């Protein structure tokens, strides 16, 4: 696999830290004592994981985050550098601990439970105009994971002024996230975010209501775990169904995508159109990549792997549907190893057709 002809710079701002992963046979009951089957200490954080995925796909990511001045922070930086993530704009808090997360991976139940200890927050004044200009210089896109929102709003506004496309992750409601979403050109949400944000009960209604609240956004992708992902992209109203019709249409779209995947062997998409709540959108469902039975080890960071791949698609001009197919494969690869990063594939290990080559 040939590398990208020129290193394409992308920027990510948000969480980075250390993950302490303990795999156990089954999740413990209160007051239980049990032994781990496997233990790993790795770099973590949504933004850090997504940029690591993007770096392995061939991009040149720069991370903006804040960690402590401790030995844990030294290790976090060293791991980024090994993967080719530029840490020149990482802030450090002398005397403060770095963020870390205990993660219990339940092998039998297929779940992972996270207990997070945050680090010192980043103040908006720490992101000076000079620093923002330096960070954004030459960037093809910038990604925000929804953390550090006060400072993120400063950098997102600067990105919009400079014409740098803004990708925002909507994982769960956090202070400042709504304002950040208002600056987004592109949004990737978790499965539960649309219903939690809009109060709509049905997924179809919630997707349309969410998209209607994102007037600047060109598209909205919602990840649905093992089902796959759904794209709403601004389009025409011709032959469109309403929001309630989308609720019934989604299973059909996934069935069509699954049938095509079975025939062609790679994740496929199926399109339709929706018109409701003042929104006209093209809807595309992309099936999750299939793994052999028993291949899933840990789902920690699968969403981050997905977003890192979408960031690759934005930076390289790939059609969003193609980027979703790539993201499906990268996220599946991630799930074959314990932790958010060891399973992330390198560019050389992926088919050229997936990478747009």
Could you tell me if 211 and 333 lie in one domain? no
**Strand, helix or coil for residue 55:** helix
- Which CA distances in Å does 303 have to 88, 96, 234, 237, 329? 25, 29, 23, 31, 12
DSSP state for residue 24 in the 8-state scheme: E
| 119 in Cβ contact with 97 (< 8 Å) | yes
Can you give the residue range of the structural domain that contains 90? Answer: 1-28+36-148+159-180+299-344
**% of the chain at pLDDT higher than 70:** 91
SS3 at position 90: coil
The CATH number linked to 105 is 3.40.1190.20
What pLDDT does residue 291 have? 92
Helices (H), 96-216: 129-136, 149-162, 177-181, 193-198, 203-212
Kindly report, residue by residue over 119-157, the tens digit of the pLDDT: 999 999 999 999 999 999 999 999 999 999 999 999 999
Of 1-5, 15-19, 84-88, 309-313, the range with the lowest mean pLDDT is 1-5
Query: Distance between CA 41 and CA 234 in Å, rounded?
Result: 42
Q: Which tokens sit at 98?
A: 């770095």
Co-location of 245 and 263 in the same domain: yes
Residue 317 maps to a domain: yes
- Average pLDDT along the chain: 91
Residue 1's pLDDT band (cuts 50, 70, 90): very low
Pick the more confident residue, 273 or 6: 273
Span 204-226, pLDDT tens digits:
889 999 999 998 999 999 999 99
C-alpha–C-alpha distance, residues 71 and 188, integer Å? 33
Per-residue pLDDT, 265: 57
DSSP 164: -
> Is 6 found in the same domain as 89?
yes
Local confidence band at 31 (pLDDT 50, 70, 90 cut-offs)? very high
Is residue 116 pLDDT above 60, yes or no?
A: yes
Confidence of residue 260 (pLDDT cuts 50, 70, 90): confident
């Amino acid at each position: 696999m040939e590398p990208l002809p020129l290193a394409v710079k992308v920027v990510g701002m948000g969480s980075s830290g250390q993950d302490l992963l303990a795999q156990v046979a089954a999740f413990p009951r209160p007051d239980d004592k049990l032994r781990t089957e496997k233990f790993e200490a790795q770099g973590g954080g949504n933004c850090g994981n997504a940029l690591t995925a993007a770096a392995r796909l061939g991009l040149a990511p720069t991370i903006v985050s804040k960690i402590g001045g401790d030995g844990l922070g030294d290790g976090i930086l060293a791991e980024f550098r090994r993967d080719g993530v530029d840490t020149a704009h990482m802030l450090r808090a002398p005397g403060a601990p770095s963020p870390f997360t205990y993660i219990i991976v339940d092998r039998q139940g297929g779940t992972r439970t996270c207990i997070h200890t945050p680090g010192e927050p980043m103040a908006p004044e720490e992101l000076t105009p000079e620093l923002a200009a330096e960070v954004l210089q030459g960037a093809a896109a910038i990604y925000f994971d929804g953390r550090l929102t006060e400072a993120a709003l400063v950098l997102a506004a600067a990105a919009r002024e400079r014409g740098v496309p803004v990708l925002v992750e909507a994982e769960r409601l956090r202070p400042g996230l709504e304002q950040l979403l208002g600056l987004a050109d592109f949004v990737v949400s978790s499965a539960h975010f649309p219903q939690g944000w809009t109060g709509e009960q049905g997924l179809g209604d919630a997707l349309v209501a969410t998209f209607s609240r994102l007037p600047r956004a060109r598209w909205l992708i919602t990840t649905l775990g093992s089902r796959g992902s759904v794209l709403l992209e601004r389009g025409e109203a011709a032959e469109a169904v309403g929001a309630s019709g989308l609720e019934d249409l989604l299973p059909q779209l996934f069935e069509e995508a699954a049938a095509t995947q079975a025939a062609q062997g790679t994740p496929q998409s199926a399109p339709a159109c929706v018109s409701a709540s003042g929104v006209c959108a093209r809807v595309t469902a992309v099936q999750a990549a299939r793994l052999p039975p028993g291949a899933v080890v840990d789902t920690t960071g699968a969403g981050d792997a997905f977003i890192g791949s979408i960031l690759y698609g934005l930076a390289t001009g790939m059609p969003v549907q193609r980027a979703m197919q790539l993201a499906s494969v990268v996220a599946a690869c991630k799930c074959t190893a314990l932790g958010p990063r060891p399973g992330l594939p390198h560019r050389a290990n992926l088919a050229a057709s997936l990478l747009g080559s």
